[in-house]
Amino acid sequence: MAKKKSPASKGAAPGNGGTGYKWPDEGFTVIPDWVYTSDEIYARELELIFEGPTWNFVGLEAEIPNPGDFRRTHAGARPVVMVRDADGAVRVVENRCAHRGAELCRPLSGSVKEFMCPYHQWTYDLAGNLIGVPFRRGLDGEGGMTDDFRNEEHGLRKLQVTTRNGVVFASYSDAVEPLEDYLGAEMIETFDQTFDGREIRILGYYRNTIPSNWKSYHENLKDPYHATLLHAYLVTFGLFRAGQRSAMIVDEVGRHGVIASARGDEPEIKAETRELKAFREDMVLQDGRIMDLVDEFEGPWTVTMQTIWPNFIVQRELNTLGTRRIVPKGPHAFDLHWTMFGYAADDDEMTRHRLRQGNLMGPSGFLGAEDGEALQFVQDGLRHSLPSQAFIGLGGTEEGTSTSPISESALRSMYRYYSEVMGLR
């Protein structure tokens, strides 16, 4: 049991990033409640993480194939527009008019020649430059902008943009490192297995609000322990089972991760597994196609779930593929935007296979729904009870990559990194 503590050594300790919060002395085997519940911490996260020197996932190039195509999306918590410029480049601009702040792009997607704000009709080109202001010179010699008004000073806020094999990232920071350095070689290897340059076909979208802190979602996907316990579909059908070859891979910095497993790579089902609630010998599928695996990827794993800090998940569960974008909504909730995809070269049967297998994931997925529920349980628990802290002592104090699923090593790495970025130590 975690020790009960007062709101987490809160006090004017030095090195607390100005928040008044300091990481508990026990280190990274505990997580104080306030990282999930404090408005002050949340505001600092937006500033230092989502709007700091990180790469936010915004979308896929396949969503905007032609010049003028756009999609409303988010970089961190902020609404942005991802658009294909006339020259073919991908731009990401803030969805906020430079005049009086109106959100100027309202449809989810579409195609335009330029952006016109609906309020006073300021117009912007596809790169976000201001190109037109109605009545700029006033009317009958009166009113209008003064002579020193410069279009260049009143464009939309432009984010840094980078792409890799059709995946679009944006950053608010000019100081952010190149994406390849940001991800590191090990993460790129997994990333490139899914995004290997093949043309992508969008299959559709899901969105849901998970009433939990955004970090809990990273934790969930850095937590192989739960995968061996919570999900009957994983355990029973051997997608993720203790005793199987699996790994929780963590990048050098501790912020990104891949939870990976190899189905069928198991001499026999362990006695411990047979005793689990989630192991259901009586579960026999009437239609087994959902578990079919078409071998189409490099590498040893049948499942890789990759978390890319701070807002991106790449899902490869057998043949069901998707991106997930975390949109934080305060300390107690985040939206999850799922984009399911296949490859342009898929034939009809392969597409339908991906769609059938899609029943595993998403807000109504056999796995996805359970994760959403579990995360709500967590937030409800720590939001309403006496302030305390979580205990993450599986695997002792080891950090980094772990080959045992019964370890919370990746969580400790993540919080070491987090506490540093947040100035909590």
Per CB under 6 A, residues contacting ligand FES are: 97, 99-100, 102, 117, 119-120, 122
The mark string for 358-397 relative to other proteins (x by CB under 8 A, - otherwise) is xx--xxxxx-xxx-xxx-xx--------------------
DSSP track, 163-184: EETTEEEEES-TTPPPHHHHH-
> Minimum CB separation from other proteins for residue 354, in Å?
9
Interaction of residue 59 with other proteins, rule CB under 8 A: no
Angle among Cα 296, 179, 48 to the nearest 5 degrees reads: 125
Interaction of residue 371 with Fe ion, rule CB under 5 A: yes
Judged by beta carbon distances under 5 to 8 A according to partner kind, the member of ligand FES, Fe ion, other proteins, none in contact with residue 233 is other proteins
C-alpha span between 161 and 159 (Å, rounded): 6
Phi and psi at 339, nearest 5°, equal: -120, 115
Interface with Fe ion (CB under 5 A), residue total 1
Interaction of residue 202 with other proteins, rule CB under 8 A: yes
- DSSP code, position 64: S
User: Residue holding tokens 């104080």?
Assistant: 32
Judged by beta carbon distances under 5 to 8 A according to partner kind, the member of ligand FES, Fe ion, other proteins, none in contact with residue 359 is other proteins
> Minimum CB separation from other proteins for residue 347, in Å?
14
> Minimum CB separation from Fe ion for residue 368, in Å?
8
> Residue with the closest Cβ to Fe ion?
371
C-alpha span between 17 and 42 (Å, rounded): 13
Decide: helix, strand or coil at residue 196.
coil
Nearer to Fe ion, 189 or 370 (CB): 370
> Minimum CB separation from Fe ion for residue 208, in Å?
14
Nearer to ligand FES, 124 or 338 (CB): 124
> Minimum CB separation from ligand FES for residue 16, in Å?
39
- DSSP code, position 176: P
User: Residue holding tokens 């009166």?
Assistant: 142
Nearer to Fe ion, 317 or 371 (CB): 371
Helix and strand numbers (H, E) in the chain are: 11, 19
User: Residue holding tokens 């969580």?
Assistant: 411
Cis, peptide link before residue 363, omega less than 30° from 0: no
C-alpha span between 9 and 323 (Å, rounded): 38
For residue 303, what is the enclosing H or E element? strand 303-308
C-alpha span between 56 and 170 (Å, rounded): 5
> Minimum CB separation from other proteins for residue 230, in Å?
6
Nearer to ligand FES, 67 or 144 (CB): 144
Nearer to ligand FES, 63 or 125 (CB): 125
Interaction of residue 165 with other proteins, rule CB under 8 A: no
Interaction of residue 123 with other proteins, rule CB under 8 A: no
C-alpha span between 351 and 356 (Å, rounded): 9
- DSSP code, position 153: G
What residue ranges bind Fe ion (CB under 5 A)?
Answer: 371
Binding site for other proteins (CB under 8 A): 108-109, 202-211, 230, 232-233, 236, 278, 280, 283, 285-287, 290, 335, 340, 351-352, 355-356, 358-359, 362-366, 368-370, 372-374, 376-377
